[in-house]
């Protein structure tokens, strides 16, 4: 969902189409992400248009995506020199040990199991937002365009 919103403002219907989520599920996630400050919205007539509040939070990855395997998405992100340094947080309902192992092996920066309870989910998303937007030090400008760190052997 956040990856779809990263491209620019989308209506709830467009979020449903791009993410493959049901309308109620997408609406619940948009509400939660908005309450946590990760998504903003603007009214346009009778429609609301949503977008990520800060582009640094757009790499939350669910492994159980309706249209594509999340592990394959992670593999593609981390194997591309242009995107491999982008932090990826897996936020998923999967309890499978192989998903946890594969996620870290492929370069995930964190693996968080989504709670079933909506209030617990909202609290975890709020804490994630605080960490990535307030506590974490983002990479310097140009960190993704060069050959990598200098001064040491590769």
- 30-70: pLDDT as tens digits: 887 887 777 888 998 988 899 888 766 656 777 776 667 88
Instruction: Give the SS3 label for residue 38.
Output: coil
Residue keyed to tokens 């340094």: 85
- How confident is the model at residue 102, as a pLDDT? 94
pLDDT at 147: 59
Give every CB contact of residue 151 below 8 A, 6+ residues apart in sequence.
Answer: none
Name residues of the chain where pLDDT drops below 50. 151-154
The domain ranges of the chain are 1-54, 59-132
The CB-side HSE value for 121 (13 A sphere, CA atoms) comes to 15
The whole-number pLDDT of residue 153 equals 44
- To the question of domain 1-54 being in CATH 2.40.30.10, the answer is no
- pLDDT of 148 reads 58
The residue among 36, 34, 99 whose CA lies nearest residue 63 is 99
| Alpha-carbon span 32 to 91, nearest angstrom | 14
Record the pTM: 0.63
CATH class of the 59-132 domain in this structure: alpha beta
Q: CA-CA distance, 40 to 42, in Å (whole number)?
A: 7
């Amino acid at each position: 969902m956040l990856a779809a919103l990263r491209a620019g403002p989308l209506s709830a219907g467009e979020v449903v189409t791009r993410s493959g989520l049901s309308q109620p599920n997408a609406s619940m996630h948009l509400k939660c992400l908005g309450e946590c400050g990760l998504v903003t919205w603007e009214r346009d007539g009778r429609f609301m248009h949503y977008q990520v509040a800060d582009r640094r939070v757009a790499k939350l990855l669910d492994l159980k995506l309706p249209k594509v395997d999340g592990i394959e998405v992670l593999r593609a992100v981390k194997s591309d020199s242009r995107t491999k340094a982008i932090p990826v947080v897996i936020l998923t309902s999967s309890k499978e040990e192989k998903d946890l192992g594969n996620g870290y092996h492929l370069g995930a920066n964190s693996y968080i199991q989504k709670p079933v309870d909506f209030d617990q989910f909202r609290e975890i998303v709020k804490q994630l937002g605080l960490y990535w937007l307030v506590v974490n030090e983002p990479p310097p400008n140009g960190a993704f365009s060069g050959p990598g760190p200098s001064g040491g052997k590769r």
